[in-house]
């Protein structure tokens, strides 16, 4: 298992600068990470920095709260794809899920997937705010809506991923779609544990430390 092939090298801080985004991309190319993950406003800058490399570019949508309108998420996702994002990491409307508006949650995911013209869609369900049953329900919804990954966390909630989250997600989706574990993963041992439980991608700002 080469950990570098699982890592989305991530910088999503509110105070991230263009210089820091450039450094993130240089590091991803140097260490051979699978992708970088940035806020959508930095997609053009990151795309230019990743030119002539195999590193994929992921952009966050409706981040980090997930509470923007479906129309806003669709527009943001479509623009990010047009500007060069290979993958989209969107946040569900968590309040809608908790209110039982499951149809609305599912339709929003499907609308974003349709807008990005076949690109990879990862859907963040923010497990820190959900019960085990709600994680199960949300994960099934993500799969049914046609997304490619269900993702644990933004890293901005009350906690990041847990091994129990990933176990529940795997129980819900089986091999229908993939899992991205993110939030609080800072060492190789933890990353390997998540992968052994079924995670196909690891989102982290500690990628260099993990593979070193």
Under 8 Å between Cβ of 46 and 36: yes
Is 103 annotated in the active site? no
Give the DSSP H or E segment for 49. helix 43-49
Residues 6 or more apart whose CB falls under 8 angstroms from that of 81 comprise 88, 115, 116, 117, 119
Give the DSSP H or E segment for 123. strand 120-124
Q: What is the DSSP letter of 22?
A: H
Is 151 annotated in the active site? yes
Token reading at 200? 């196909």
Under 8 Å between Cβ of 73 and 93: no
Cis peptide before 64 (omega within 30 of 0): yes
- Coil, strand or helix at 162: coil
Catalytic residue chosen out of the listed positions 29, 56, 151, 178: 151
Catalytic residue chosen out of the listed positions 29, 47, 89, 178: 89
Under 8 Å between Cβ of 188 and 164: no
Residue 128: closest CA among 98, 85, 170: 98
Is 113 annotated in the active site? no
Token reading at 20? 């820091």
Catalytic residue chosen out of the listed positions 29, 73, 178, 180: 180
* Residues identified as active-site: 89, 151, 180
């Amino acid at each position: 298992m080469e950990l570098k092939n699982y890592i989305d090298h991530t910088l999503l801080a509110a105070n991230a600068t263009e210089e820091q985004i450039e450094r993130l991309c240089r590091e991803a190319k140097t260490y051979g990470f699978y992708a970088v993950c940035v806020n959508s406003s930095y997609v053009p800058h990151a795309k230019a920095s990743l030119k002539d490399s195999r590193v994929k570019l992921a952009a966050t949508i409706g981040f980090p709260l997930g509470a923007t309108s479906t129309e806003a998420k669709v527009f943001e996702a479509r623009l990010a794809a047009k500007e060069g994002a290979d993958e989209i990491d969107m946040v569900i409307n968590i309040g809608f899920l908790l209110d039982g508006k499951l149809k609305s949650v599912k339709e929003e995911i499907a609308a974003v997937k349709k807008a990005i013209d076949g690109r990879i869609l990862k859907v963040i369900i923010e497990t820190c705010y959900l019960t085990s049953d709600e994680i199960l329900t949300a994960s099934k919804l993500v799969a049914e809506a046609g997304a490619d990954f269900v993702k644990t966390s933004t890293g901005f909630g009350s906690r990041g991923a847990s091994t129990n989250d990933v176990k529940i997600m795997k129980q819900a989706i089986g091999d229908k779609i993939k899992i991205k574990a993110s939030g609080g993963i800072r060492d190789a041992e933890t990353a390997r544990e998540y992968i052994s439980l079924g995670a196909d991608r690891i989102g982290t700002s500690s990628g260099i430390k993990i593979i070193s």
